Amino acid sequence: MTSAPSLLQPLSGSSLCGLFLLACVVLLPIELHAQDPDETYRTHFIIHKVRKGETVFGLSQRYNISEQQLLHYNPEVSASLKRRTKLKIPRYRSLPIPKKTEYKLHTVQKGETRWRIAYTYGITLEELGEYNPQMEDVLEIGQQLRIPVSVTQSKDINPLYNYYNVKPKEGYYRIEKKLGISKDSLLVLNPELAETGLQAGMVLKVSKNVLPKFNIQNNLLVEKINLRDSLRLLPVVKFGLMAPFRLPTITLDSLEQTAEILQSRNLATLSLDFYSGVRMAVDELVASDLSIDLVVFDTENSTAKVNNILQERSFSDFDFVVGPFIPKHFNKVSKHLESKNIPVVSPLTTKPLVMRRNVVHSMPTKANLQQRMLRYVDSLDVTEDNPCVLIIADEKNNEMLQKLKRKFPLAEIIRPDAEFGFVKPELVDSLSSNFEPNWVFLEANESNLVISMTSMLNAQNNEDRSFKLMTTYRDNVYDDDNIDQGHLGNLNFTYPSSYNVNPVALAEFQAIYQERFGAIPSREAVRGYELVTDLVLRTAIRRKLIDGFSLGETEYTQNKFLFEQDSSGDGYRNNSIYLLQHQDFETIEKNE
């Protein structure tokens, strides 16, 4: 069992109305047969004793058979079932798609997911899968899916509610314990349950409660995964860390020079902060009886040094590599290791990378962050009437300006002064409303504009006029010390983020870190700790890191991870995003 080497030792190495999606449905006439078309696949029967309230439709749904099959083997049964009647239920091996049952086609629209389509048509996810065996987890726009023609209901997704996918063997009691929602409440929100009963794969509408054990993905409740409680199958995890420590320029024996370097923010200090978090993760995992072989490489922010590392090491026995931090060096390493199928994980940068099949980008794209904010705006648009929308955007954010303008065609567009980059207070005063809530979208990257707008809006925010400040992308300018956090709290500043600000949850980690390193952990230190913990555990549980991505979304104190195949088709990206809002001097996570 080995742990990371000490740095003191040589290193080896965000329309006033929402847009509605229309489903294209085509009916295909197909002949129906009274006999069982899948008799050749039948293996045996089970006996079912009819209970009060059960129907032929409900039982066919429960046992994954057609109504015709149920009636074929129980000819004495009428449309209404008598209590305590014993029915023969046929069971099949590898039952194919019901070829001689009518179906219709649904064309997948932008933003649709498997659970949304299943809920819309009132079928289970399992049924959708049986009719579409080639269907993958991520649907493509324009893809056509088969839907049972017997389905007549069509339900809309209501953003004022959440939704839950029923798990196998779950009854009303277990769901109440898990979600805090009674059977009566479920029946009110899902009246079809009175006829069908609970079925695995069914999607239920549920009230919007705060459930700490769940994440919310586009209104769907998803249980959080705790990898630490999972069975580990891989005895040793070996990985490399490549970072520009530039140790030859640092005299570690000189405490004065080291302290001076660590007071500045540059690649070397970011690397050291990240490494300190990695070291804590490794030591903690080793203490829980997991063996880890960590090899650290100092790239020195040099292309020549990166080349030397790649020439000297084969990496064939590495489970994955974290870094390098610089995109051009990362791209070189990922290309070199692609043929060896060694995953290469980008830890910090949000900049574009060359996406290859072995590339793992741990930061969400700017486009994904913006889409997350726009979904939140759509949910607000349902609950708040006639807001007065002001869009303040500089020249660098024209694309988002046009998107917001299409969403809010009556919005007032405000451009900063071309010479000084400011917005006059009297202009905002004349365009805002004393009668409706004012939504201000600030799409800007210039610190002077952001500082002046937050101060100005806060001054105009009072009992007679309220402002909500939002942005679809929070640039680093919001970290400027000249921006009053109290102003952001008064304006309920809301934005998407790749990391959370949760000082309460982070308190324990901070205490341990400060005792060990004598400093408060930076954002990079926390990320190093949480990212490496996640990567190592996924690898240990599923033997291969890429296979470990199927374990789903995980969440720690400041970071959460949902690794999915990139939209390009090559590589993987973390698509887990926080939606944060300032309230007074606190920052809380929001959900639609």
Same domain as 288, residue 188: no
Percent of the chain with pLDDT over 70: 85
Place 15 in a pLDDT band, splitting at 50, 70 and 90.
very low
How high is the pLDDT of residue 223?
76
Domain, as residue range, for 491:
367-497
Whether 217 and 553 have beta carbons less than 8 Å apart is answered as yes
144, β-bridge pairs: 107
Of 179, 196, 223, which residue is a domain's last?
Answer: 223
- State the CATH number of the domain containing residue 298: 3.40.50.2300
Instruction: Work out the burial of residue 210: count CB atoms within 10 Å of its CB; fewer than 13 is exposed, 13-18 middle, 19 or more buried.
Output: exposed
Q: Is the pLDDT of residue 186 over 50?
A: yes
Q: Is the pLDDT of residue 11 over 60?
A: no
Q: Give me the phi and psi of 575, to 5 degrees please.
A: -105, 15
Same domain as 538, residue 488: no
Same domain as 438, residue 388: yes
Same domain as 201, residue 165: yes
The CB-based long-range contact list for 215-218 (8 Å cut-off, 24+ gap) reads: 215/553, 215/555, 215/560, 215/576, 216/162, 216/591, 216/592, 217/553, 217/562, 218/111, 218/113, 218/375, 218/592
Q: What is the mean pLDDT of residues 314-329?
A: 95
Q: What is the mean pLDDT of residues 130-141?
A: 78
Angle value at C-alpha 239, between 234 and 240, nearest 5 degrees: 175
Tens digit of pLDDT for each residue in 355-395?
999 999 999 988 889 988 988 888 776 666 788 999 999 88
Same domain as 381, residue 471: yes
The H or E element that residue 28 is part of is strand 24-28
The CB-based long-range contact list for 349-353 (8 Å cut-off, 24+ gap) reads: 349/325, 350/498, 351/327, 352/327, 353/327
Place 353 in a pLDDT band, splitting at 50, 70 and 90.
very high
Higher pLDDT among residues 473 and 590, named by residue? 473
Establish if 183 belongs to a structural domain. yes
Lowest average pLDDT, out of 94-103, 178-187, 464-473, 495-504, goes to 94-103
Same domain as 302, residue 276: yes
Tens digit of pLDDT for each residue in 570-587?
999 999 999 999 998 888
17 dihedral zone (left: phi>0; alpha: psi -120 to 50; beta)? beta
Whether 88 and 74 have beta carbons less than 8 Å apart is answered as yes
Between strands 388-393 and 438-443, the pairing is parallel
How high is the pLDDT of residue 43?
73
Establish if 511 belongs to a structural domain. no
The CB-based long-range contact list for 282-285 (8 Å cut-off, 24+ gap) reads: 282/3, 282/4, 282/532, 282/536, 283/3, 283/4, 284/533, 285/533, 285/536, 285/537
| Residue 281 identity (one-letter amino acid) | A
Rounded CA-CA distance 200/476 in Å is 45
Lowest average pLDDT, out of 141-145, 167-171, 460-464, goes to 167-171
What's this model's pTM, rounded to 2 decimal places?
Answer: 0.67
DSSP 390-418: EEEE-GGGHHHHHHHHHH-TTPEEE---T
Same domain as 464, residue 427: yes
How high is the pLDDT of residue 304?
96
Q: Is the pLDDT of residue 21 over 70?
A: no
Lowest average pLDDT, out of 141-155, 347-361, 450-464, goes to 141-155
How high is the pLDDT of residue 513?
92
Same domain as 358, residue 380: no
Place 502 in a pLDDT band, splitting at 50, 70 and 90.
low
What total of structural domains would you count in the chain?
A: 3
Same domain as 355, residue 283: yes
Establish if 187 belongs to a structural domain. yes
- Best mean pLDDT range from 175-184, 472-481, 532-541: 532-541
Q: Is the pLDDT of residue 77 over 50?
A: yes
Place 146 in a pLDDT band, splitting at 50, 70 and 90.
confident
Higher pLDDT among residues 151 and 405, named by residue? 405
Establish if 323 belongs to a structural domain. yes
Rounded CA-CA distance 399/391 in Å is 12
What is the dihedral sign for C-alpha 576, 582, 585, 586? negative
Of 208, 223, 238, which residue is a domain's last?
Answer: 223
Establish if 431 belongs to a structural domain. yes
Instruction: Work out the burial of residue 355: count CB atoms within 10 Å of its CB; fewer than 13 is exposed, 13-18 middle, 19 or more buried.
Output: buried
Rounded CA-CA distance 143/507 in Å is 47
What is the dihedral sign for C-alpha 254, 257, 260, 263? negative
Tens digit of pLDDT for each residue in 522-571?
999 999 999 999 999 999 998 999 999 988 889 898 999 999 998 788 99
Q: What is the mean pLDDT of residues 28-39?
A: 46
Rounded CA-CA distance 64/41 in Å is 14
Q: Is the pLDDT of residue 345 over 90?
A: yes
- State the CATH number of the domain containing residue 403: 3.40.50
Establish if 330 belongs to a structural domain. yes
How high is the pLDDT of residue 127?
84
Q: Give me the phi and psi of 557, to 5 degrees please.
A: -80, -40
Rounded CA-CA distance 420/82 in Å is 81
Residue 119 CB neighbour total at 10 angstroms:
23
Establish if 303 belongs to a structural domain. yes
Between strands 42-49 and 388-393, the pairing is unpaired
Establish if 276 belongs to a structural domain. yes
Of 454, 482, 497, which residue is a domain's last?
Answer: 497
Same domain as 244, residue 189: no
DSSP 322-368: E--SSHHHHHHHHHHHHTTT--EEE-S--S-----TTEEE-S--HHH
Same domain as 405, residue 371: yes
Whether 544 and 239 have beta carbons less than 8 Å apart is answered as no
How high is the pLDDT of residue 141?
81
Same domain as 313, residue 273: yes
Token pair of 559, please?
Answer: 């970071």
Q: What is the mean pLDDT of residues 398-412?
A: 92
How high is the pLDDT of residue 264?
53
